[in-house]
Structure 1
Amino acid sequence: MPDDNRCGVLFDVDGTLIDTTYLHTVSWWEALRQADHQVPMASIHRAIGMGSDKLLDHLLGPERDRDGDGRLRDSHDALYAEYWERLTPLPRAVDLLRACAARGLRVVLATSAAEHEVAALRAALAADDVIDTVTSSADARESKPAPDILVAALDQSGLTAERVVFVGDSVWDVAAAGKLDIPCVGLACGGTSRAELAGAGAVAVYDDPAALLDGLGDSAIATLG
């Protein structure tokens, strides 16, 4: 059941807390290239943040033959896994999580990463002592920009949409939050511009977790509680 007395912050992880956006871009580019799909990296980058199903529709078209989608996902996963031991948090990302927890807020990783990737992301953050809840792609029927993963994060953490803020790095994050009327703070460290994030509906945009931490007292997060 929801705990109406608690507030929290939902965080996207890839590109928001950990510097993975371009690793995913390169991994998808190579997986697509191996299958004879020539897709510019810039196009792939702009689709990162969607689930793999919607990403492939976006890049290859919804009318394509989907028989090869499983192989494309497997290729991406294998290529991306080569980076797992080198995953690096973005500037002061862990400090931001700890600062939110110190304010009495529940810290929720609302990630749609596959379950086998979540362990690598958590290991890179090394902040399990302040993390309340972690989701994965298995918790959502539809990927972003559908809001399913945020609904799952709310359900699992006992929080309500009225008492949370979402922090993400892509227009797909902002769109998903908007469908639940959750304020979304945008971070430009995933490679999406401040103007694009603001134009998509982000209530504020910061360069990276360090900038949000520096401005935490004046941010939407400070209004929780």
Structure 2
Amino acid sequence: MADTAIFDVDGTLVDTNYQHALAWYRSFLRFDIVLPIWRIHRAIGMGGDQLVPSLAGDDVEERHGEALRTAWTEEFAAFIDEVHPFDGAHDLLVEVKRRGFAVVLASSGKKEHVERFLDLVDARGVADAWTTSDDVTASKPAPDLVQTALKRAPGSSGIMIGDSPWDAVAARKADIATVAVRTGGFSSEELREAGAIGVFDSLRDLIDGLDDTPLAHPGA
């Protein structure tokens, strides 16, 4: 019975997941830690506070966690001009809003990145609210980001739209269902196993299939 659409940003509305993976790969290399990029990609969608120990262990987090996240910021800056919105990103937000939902963009990204991506998607005139890393203490797969996003909305119940298993896990912990898109490079099986109730290949496919999801109309 959702009245608020909570949109993940990175990998869902803007095409960033592989840039994130390469930036993390290069960040770990600075500390002579070599990780397979496919493994890094599988962790994209987690926040940096969760990703480092998940991939490299608690010892690396304790010794290098903050420095790795600083390095990631520097490495990702080299890719920022290559980031583009997915086809249909703005149209999806507009259509969901037209159907009567509050629209919140839930990102644990840095404020300057979120601001840039808002402009790429032309979302400022559509979204009721948005979040950044400044708004939460624990990132996905913890539920904090989803809960914070819902609190900022005028509604009272949410539906998550995301691209990674970590979106679905975080939403499930917050008792919120997830509709997923494969724009982040994860398989339908991975997304459904994480809890997604529906999976679409693209944002355009989701727009065409909204009537078959809880995004058909508020309270569906």
1:49-198, aligned counterparts within 5 Å?
49-64=45-60, 66-160=62-156, 163-198=157-192
- Mapped partners of 2:61, 2:126: distance in 1: 44
In the TM superposition, what is the alpha-carbon distance from 1:69 to its structure 2 partner?
1.9
Amino acid at match of 2:77: A
Work out the number of aligned pairs and report it.
219
Residue 9 in 1 paired to residue 5 in 2?
yes
Please say if residues 100 and 218 of structure 2, whose CA atoms lie closer than 8 Å, have aligned partners that are also in contact. Answer: no
Q: Which residue of 2 aligns with 1:199?
A: 193
Please say if residues 175 and 200 of structure 1, whose CA atoms lie closer than 8 Å, have aligned partners that are also in contact. Answer: yes
Please say if residues 52 and 61 of structure 2, whose CA atoms lie closer than 8 Å, have aligned partners that are also in contact. Answer: no
Q: What root-mean-square deviation, in Å, do the aligned CA atoms of Structure 1 and Structure 2 show?
A: 1.6
Please say if residues 164 and 224 of structure 1, whose CA atoms lie closer than 8 Å, have aligned partners that are also in contact. Answer: no
**With structure 2 as the length reference, what TM-score do the two structures score?**
0.94
Q: Which residue of 1 aligns with 2:209?
A: 215
In the TM superposition, what is the alpha-carbon distance from 1:169 to its structure 2 partner?
0.8
Please say if residues 24 and 40 of structure 2, whose CA atoms lie closer than 8 Å, have aligned partners that are also in contact. Answer: yes
C-alpha offsets along residues 8-67 of structure 1, whole Å, 9 cap, x if unaligned?
200000001110000000000011112210000011000111111110001111133623
- Mapped partners of 2:21, 2:61: distance in 1: 22
In the TM superposition, what is the alpha-carbon distance from 1:213 to its structure 2 partner?
0.5
Q: Which runs of 4+ in 1 moved over 3 A?
A: none
- Residues 65 and 24 of structure 1: CA distance in aligned 2, closer, same or farther (over 3 Å): closer
In the TM superposition, what is the alpha-carbon distance from 1:188 to its structure 2 partner?
1.0
Please say if residues 53 and 61 of structure 2, whose CA atoms lie closer than 8 Å, have aligned partners that are also in contact. Answer: no
- Mapped partners of 2:61, 2:41: distance in 1: 23
In the TM superposition, what is the alpha-carbon distance from 1:78 to its structure 2 partner?
1.3
Please say if residues 142 and 148 of structure 1, whose CA atoms lie closer than 8 Å, have aligned partners that are also in contact. Answer: yes
- Mapped partners of 2:18, 2:195: distance in 1: 23
Please say if residues 140 and 167 of structure 2, whose CA atoms lie closer than 8 Å, have aligned partners that are also in contact. Answer: yes
**With structure 1 as the length reference, what TM-score do the two structures score?**
0.92
Q: Which residue of 2 aligns with 1:22?
A: 18
Q: Unaligned stretches of 5+ in structure 1?
A: none
Please say if residues 100 and 217 of structure 2, whose CA atoms lie closer than 8 Å, have aligned partners that are also in contact. Answer: no
In the TM superposition, what is the alpha-carbon distance from 1:86 to its structure 2 partner?
2.9
Q: Unaligned stretches of 5+ in structure 2?
A: none
